[in-house]
Amino acid sequence: MSLEKVVEKFKSGLQYCVGAYIFLFLMTKAWSFIGLPTGSIEEYQIIKYVLSTSILALVSQAVMVSAAIELAYMLFTPGPDEAVDPLILGIAGTALLVMSDENSAKTDSMLYDSIAVFLFAVSLAILFYLRFMLTKWFPKQFKDNFDKGSFENEANEVGSIHPKKAVKESKSAA
């Protein structure tokens, strides 16, 4: 097994841990919000932190950790494709943090927050466009090729699996 495959499996495991973090802590927050008894669980420092932090801030922190994992994974892979996705995750996480209640103490201006979120949205649009263009510039390095012929290849694959469906699609196309 190659080093890249081992690192990819490790990255996937870490990403699952981040997903479990989000799920468990949001369920804890929802449990407390509904008013169900939490018992002695509130004595733990991490639960105190979760209950005192807004939901958007928790999710934004998890997204930023996910971006850090993606950036670390980028060091073990060739090509420029893995550099764009962590930037998209990081900007999305930062935008969530700006929109959360945790940010209100730093800037008391809604105008500053609005401008920041607008700039984040513009930069996300630019990064998604760049990611799309990278698939055209480096088609061999991308697993999900958005190139012109990829849809036709997928249609042919479906035709080989379901011959009746392929005959119906070819009749409707004609």
Over residues 65-99, the pLDDT tens digits come to 999 998 888 887 776 667 788 888 888 888 888 88
Tokens 């390095």 identify what position? 141
> 147 pLDDT exceeds 50?
no
> 14 pLDDT exceeds 90?
yes
Q: Of 51-55, 122-126, 127-131, 169-173, which range is least confident?
A: 169-173
Of 140 and 34, the one with more pLDDT:
34
CB 87 within 8 A of CB 61: no
Of 100 and 120, the one with more pLDDT:
120
Q: Which of 15, 117, 26 is nearest to 68 (CA)?
A: 15
Averaged pLDDT, 43-65: 85
What's the rounded Cα separation, in Å, for the pair 99 and 113?
Answer: 7
Q: What is the DSSP letter of 77?
A: S
Residue 65 has φ and ψ, to the nearest 5°, of: -65, -40
Q: What is the pTM of this model?
A: 0.67
Of 32 and 157, the one with more pLDDT:
32
